[in-house]
Homo-oligomer: A and B are copies of this chain.
Amino acid sequence: MLEKLKEEVFLANLELPKQGLVKYTWGNASAIDRESGLFVIKPSGVDYETMQPSDMVVIDLEGNVVEGTLNPSSDTATHAVLYKHYQEIGGIVHTHSTWATIWAQSGLDLPALGTTHADTFYGAVPCARFLTQEEIDRGYEAETGKVIIETFEERGLDILAIPGVLLHGHGPFTWGKDAKSAVMNSVVLDEVAKMNLFTRELNHFSKELPQRILDKHYLRKHGKNAYYGQK
């Protein structure tokens, strides 16, 4: 079942080490079929060199395995919670990519300092809080999804305008309309995290991008008046 989606998810997972975002089996990509309400995710800890599209695992929105002989990614419940809450998300990626993880470890929101950021993220990428002991006991991965939702709701953020989050002490999650765009958003997030760290090191007083430039760059690529790319 969902053979085409398995192929897409398989390719998205292979793209992660190719783009330098994951080493070994760290990281996972998934994508959902909204008609059936089922999503496809990579299996846990399987070597990328031998992994096949048919190794992908099919999961329902409660996080149960529907098809597949291998254990799904240990972060599956986080994906399930996000897909269930946000109908507009089609693909999700989790990595420990170097520079985004550095911001996550430092516990800081990633501010918009340049147009590379503004082309993809319409404002700062938030850093979500640590889970409490109670949340960890209740179910670490599902509760991680809930903390992401809490972060976006408390701050009134649009999940598609800011397609990513940093988990304090852990690393980034990104999402998009499909697995491929979620991967691309992970690439942008890591590059922007690198550039912003060194921008602040070079000039401790570097200011955030003026709102007018942020608007211009985000809106020339997104929304009804976008004019970047081909129709």
* B200-A200 in contact (CB<8A): no
A102 to B96, CA, bound (A): 21
* A45-B213 in contact (CB<8A): no
Tell me if A98 counts as interface (CB < 8 A to partner B): yes
Known: A170-B114, A230-B44. A106 touches B199 (CB 8 A): yes
* B171-A114 in contact (CB<8A): yes
A216 to B71, CA, bound (A): 19
* A212-B105 in contact (CB<8A): no
Tell me if A197 counts as interface (CB < 8 A to partner B): yes
Chain A residues 195-222 with CB under 8 Å of chain B are: 195-203, 206-207, 209-210, 212-213, 216, 220
* B102-A202 in contact (CB<8A): yes
Which of A3-11, A81-89, A130-138, A150-158 lies at the interface? Answer: A130-138
A191 to B27, CA, bound (A): 15
Tell me if A229 counts as interface (CB < 8 A to partner B): yes
Tell me if A107 counts as interface (CB < 8 A to partner B): yes
